[in-house]
Structure 1
């Protein structure tokens, strides 16, 4: 049975990602997790920033239709190097190939976020980009890292917060953006929606 709107908080996270839930809790905001079943688009005609914003909107929209009085947040994260986009690997071999391509290089991580309140026909979509430089890695080091994490649910086959020191040399920009939500930017955006926040 669907939850009554009376029992819902003012914010719904339309994502099943445990990392995004953990990050959002750092803002000390009340929220409910209701994952979206929207299919992510993969369009080579769009930049990573455009694609992430489109996917974030697509994830928020169906949940907003179900709960038009709540503020719904959708998010999408992509890793890209040059013109090559790295989504979630289908298997370990693909994960190894992704890390092999990223090793020794500087790539970008972009997260698109959509905040939507359907009842008032209001929405805001933005994206944040962080620069990440990988260490030079050989096959044995890549295999060691893949043994330490589950890469299959992670864009680019890595998680900076899980043994990131083994593969990452430095980052420029928001660390939490690489994890899945740009908290600094998100905090500012949520305050504009008059959502009560704790201290970051």
Structure 2
């Protein structure tokens, strides 16, 4: 049974999505969840010295959730996704040259996509989960890189690509959460929202 904050019981908390990402809104809709409202957090998403990818996404997701004012009866949901080649974090490209650099690093190599979720409920305590998805790109030709850069799709995306777009044709192997690579791991998200009372849990037991 699927429930959402708009049509669920009156006693159910209201969900606040701490994100301006249309992808996260669309992913929530896939599991029947419609936020009560959307609030955009204003935080510094820069990396700390020697910060590793997994702790980085968990920290940023938590800071986003805590940065949004929460009224009584509201639950805040935030997420963050990053791509990592080894210990190196590939954030959003700053320009086309940076995008080309990222695609060159990903070409023919395995990388990790870490996608963290944080939920803050009535007790004010952040609860987090993270998915770690392994993705391998085919070896990209110069023409393929040129085409993808020209498409504009990679700008504003972690790692410089959108798996739900043209870059899906580059993916030779994926193990983990496809929705996590898009921007919100739905299994982890639903589990956290179930714990916060936004989504109904299993009956019985």
Q: Secondary structure at the match of 1:104?
A: coil
| Cα separation, 1, equivalents of 2:129 and 2:166 | 29
Q: 1:80 aligns with which of 62, 68, 84?
A: 84
> Structure 2 regions of 5+ residues with no counterpart?
1-9
Q: 2:187 aligns with which of 166, 184, 198?
A: 184
Distance 1:97 1:170, change over 3 A: same
Correspondence for 2:61: 56
User: Superposition pairs for residues 136-175 of structure 1, below 5 Å?
Assistant: 136-175=139-178
Q: TM-score, normalised by structure 1?
A: 0.88
Q: 1:13 aligns with which of 17, 37, 42?
A: 17
Q: Secondary structure at the match of 1:153?
A: coil
User: Which deviates further from its counterpart, 173-182 or 136-145?
Assistant: 136-145
1:69 paired to 2:80: no
Correspondence for 2:97: 93
Q: Secondary structure at the match of 1:74?
A: strand
The count of residues paired between Structure 1 and Structure 2 equals 189
1:23-61 Cα shifts (integer Å, max 9, x gaps): 111111120221111121302422211111110111111
Q: Which has the higher helix share?
A: 1
Residue pair 2:133, 2:174 contacting (<8 A) in 1 also: yes
RMSD: 1.9
1:23 paired to 2:12: no
Distance 1:136 1:123, change over 3 A: same
